[in-house]
Chains A and B, each alone.
Chain A
Amino acid sequence: MKFGVVVFPGSNCDHDAWYAVSRNLGREAVMIWHDSEDLCGADAIILPGGFSYGDYLRCGAIAKFSPVMRAVKRFARDGGLVIGICNGFQILVESGLLPGALIRNKNLRFICRTVELETCTADSPFTSMGRKGQILRIPIAHGEGCYVADERTLDELEAEDRVVFRYVDNPNGSLRDIAGILSQERNVMGMMPHPERASDPLMGSCDGLVIFQSMAAAFAASKK
């Protein structure tokens, strides 16, 4: 299985994601340049954290027009696994692959902190190796991570079991403590916390690795 990590101008967690899946997880991983629709044969796509295109205008608002996102949308439509982390999550909502929006943290400041996440569903290709109710310790690092959506969308997300992670102690004001959500088809996930920062014992937590392991397992299952 091959992971593809998209590199936008201003991505700065691209190498971290690459390191987590290639070194900590031990899978093949390639970098995908934003300016091309060629996904380099990747079997799963990671939209990494950072400040794509400087996050000018609005976080993720310019990235959605990049050539690579046209390819990522097609890839997602065809059932491919896509995970958006932090800025990647912002790009996914801007691109319409996930509902809602991410706005300034409630305290109006950037927050870097390790938080506890409740795994709300194990019924997804991103959490199948975990279990429902499992608490994961994973860092956040964002200024605009407050998840918002209209009530109907939030109800729908909950009714369809698409809230994948909730904050145990909400750091940023996200509605209903939402930290990560799934697309309707469950093959696209966005989350503000950084699992790639919790994939190495030396970094203090390996709880994030379960997400990449689940993706690898889901891909393997799809090939059977």
Chain B
Amino acid sequence: MSAITPEVIEAHQLTPEEYQKIVSILGREPTYTELGIFSVMWSEHCSYKSSRLHLRKLPTRSRLVVQGPGENAGIIDIGDGYAIAFKIESHNHPSFIEPFQGAATGVGGILRDIFTMGARPIAVMDALRFGPLDDPETGARNRRILTGVVAGIAHYGNCFGVPTVGGECVFEKSYSGNPLVNVFALGVFKKSEIFYARASGVGNPVIYVGAKTGKDGIHGASMASAEFTEESKQKRPNVQVGDPFMEKLLLEACLEAMQTGAIVGIQDMGAAGLTCSTCEMGSRGNVGIEIDLQYVPQRESGMTPYEIMLSESQERMLLVAEKGREQEVFGVFRKWGLDAVTIGVVTGDGMLRVKDHGAVVAEIPNRPLADEAPLYNRPYTRPYRTAPMDPPAGWDAARDWTEALKTVLASGDVCSKRWIWEQYDYQVRTNTLEGPGGDAAIVRIKETGASIAMALDGNGRYCHLDPREGTKLMVAECCRNLSAVGALPVAATNNLNFGNPERPEIMAQIVEAIEGMAEACAFFETPITGGNVSLYNETLGEPVYPSPVLGIVGLMKTQAPVGIHFRNPGRTVMLIGGLGSTDSLRMGGTQFAKAVLKAEWGLPPALDMEYEKRAQAAVREIVSAGWAESSHDLSDGGLAVALAESSFGPGGIGARIELESDLSPAALLFHEGPSRVLISTAEPERVEEIARRHGVEAPRIGVTEANRLSIACGGAFLANASAADLRAVWENGLEKLLHG
């Protein structure tokens, strides 16, 4: 047993004050194993100690919320006796160190969070952030990370049998040393069959199921709570190795075992493995848990209690069963060829007691361990930013706008992500009404007449320029994505990716982003039901852009979806929300600024939340009533990109657009002002009537026509190209960046 020296404490990323708190909780010095247990439970990753005070500002309730934050996933009532569970989680650090396994186990972890509650996962989405693929210094590594991450997600999700139905992928220099991999998963179940991660019933057996415990992933949670340095590559052994086949068996066995009625509570072993699952289940249930490590199935001999308790081996679950009904549970797991072993018992004393062959190696009260980690109100100043306020000279000078459009369409953020999503099975389970490539993914619930629409959004550039407004814009856009397909946004899950919270200017980003999210989520009535915070996303002192990511789910009737593509020539093209306005300050975060000018400045677009809400209500009504043949929200790249993307359907239908505006061509084509959705319709009067009723502009801006996209203002052509040419540039963009 190692002696506990100040060096050992520091190596466990515990401060001297935190150590003193441990001593006072225990009333004695901790053992080495206990120190390890505290260090993972009190890590930033598990305890949210820097963010928790601010997370309390988020709205978490609504009429539909069955379960808010604090469980494995949030739950929403979708009617007809059914509910959905969903959550997003990051696997940023592991994905940088070992892209394939890091991303794969990220998928595995969030899937377990869903099915541990009894829900069958029916959809996955991913928000990915990488460094630029064509960067002269880091491009090769960025390409390798992207390729590995995508293959890892595909490997795990495809084999497990859950469709990866959407997501987004963005490239910024700040992610070169710290990519982001955020995975969202959603499952469905009967409202009467929800399982919680709570232990109860003194004397009930504590059962370990699934894969054996090995030495992989030890201190993964602590690794995720520190900045990267040159030595981080040596942490590869801290990354777990995933086995999606094992997870698939675990899914089927768990859902089947739940049907026996013999399971009292269940939690997956994710970050901090056996430690986290035992003390959290005990703490939530106000009971104690006693286990003996000799019964834990182990992959290798000679593992110490410290290693067993801290291992993050994948595909494991902990459950509490009704005493006397163990055999029913064992029978199901035996059928699926999985280990299921009683390793302990629920006690009445509120302690986590860990024995090794009968000898106590750790004895800690559950509640302080799981729920009373130190909380920090870290000082914050003004948000960190590196961009100037003023635009570069001549930013709106005349240029070949067709070429500018092509440059934006070919850029990493805007180009088609087909190369990525074709590697994902987005159809398995035959529920995917709208897969990747649309504004929102739509998955039907076979058991009811309802469908779930879902979208992931985040905009690090906007948030870098203004964390508060950028986050509000993100919420608005995510809701708009759902409204564009006719779905009513009802709830959200968030992933907060930031740098080192101990730096006051980073902490300021976190605080402003959370407050912006709180304001917008309350306004748009999309409570946050859970999520994840990932801090210390820095390498060698260079933080990522403040990158909150939001997943929002919406409800709609099951019906053939309205896609983004123009379907017939001769239809009226309308812009719900109008042309919008902007100024030079607010052009600095656009894709035009990034791709064409290679610059970033100023502020993100201005958002009027009241108008946004009305515009979305109008669009939902128009789409649900069937008046829109196509519907596409304006976001990255503004009006010009939305028009182009609407022209990339199989029929090659483009449009002749004629605008009247005082805006400069650059602003008119590419400004990213929110609250706008592009539709094509055979019923313009009906659309106008609805827009008028909601107090929203809806100008007719042109007519669809075969094969060409032209955009004119005041009678003069700004852009004019064949839809096929534009499409080719957009389709080939990513592969060109990947393969040169």
Contacts and interface: CB of A to CB of B under 8 A. Distances in A.
Contacts of B337: 9
A110 B421 CA distance: 10
Contacts of A184: none
B420 to A, nearest CB: 10
Contacts of B422: 109-113
Contact of A110 (B161, B246, B425, B444): B425
A202 B444 contact: yes
Interface in A1-54: 9-10, 12-13, 15-16, 19-20, 49-51, 53-54
A139 B430 CA distance: 11
B427 A12 contact: no
B601 interface: no
Nearest to A199: B430
Interface in B421-474: 421-430, 432-433, 444, 446
A50 B158 CA distance: 8
A112 B427 contact: yes
Contacts of B161: 12-13, 50-51
B561 to A, nearest CB: 9
Q: Is the interface of A mostly helix, strand, loop or mixed?
A: mixed
Contact of B446 (A19, A196, A201): A19
A13 B161 CA distance: 8
A50 B162 CA distance: 11
Nearest to A20: B430
A55 B423 contact: no
A89 to B, nearest CB: 16
A200 B433 CA distance: 10
Given A19-B430, A56-B245, A10 B423 contact: no
B82 interface: no
B540 interface: no
A51 B427 CA distance: 15
A53 B430 contact: no
Interface in A174-224: 194, 196-197, 199-203
Interface string B467-497: 0000000000000000000000000000000
B446 A53 contact: no
B243 A196 contact: no
B429 A55 contact: no
A54 B245 contact: yes
Contacts of A110: 154, 158, 422-425
A112 B424 contact: yes
A157 interface: no
Given A51-B159, A202-B444, A10 B425 contact: no
A110 B244 CA distance: 16
Contacts of B430: 16, 19-20, 196-197, 199-200, 203
Interface string A39-77: 000000000011101111000000000000000000000
B448 to A, nearest CB: 14
Nearest to B161: A12
B592 to A, nearest CB: 32
A140 to B, nearest CB: 10
A10 B159 contact: yes
A141 interface: yes
A56 B243 CA distance: 11
Contacts of A53: 245
A16 B429 contact: yes
Nearest to B434: A204
Contacts of A143: 158
Given A54-B159, A110-B158, A202-B444, A10 B428 contact: no
Contacts of A49: 428
Q: List the 9 shortest-distance A-B pairs measured between CB atoms, nearest first.
A: A12-B161, A54-B245, A141-B425, A51-B159, A16-B430, A110-B423, A112-B425, A110-B154, A197-B427
Interface of B: 151, 154, 158-161, 243-246, 248-249, 336-337, 421-430, 432-433, 444, 446, 558-560
Given A113-B422, A202-B559, 12 more contacts: A9-B336, A12-B248, A13-B161, A15-B429, A51-B159, A54-B159, A54-B245, A112-B425, A141-B427, A203-B427, A203-B430, A203-B432
17 contacts: A10-B245, A16-B428, A51-B245, A54-B159, A54-B243, A54-B244, A109-B151, A109-B422, A110-B154, A110-B422, A111-B423, A197-B430, A199-B430, A201-B560, A202-B559, A202-B560, A203-B432
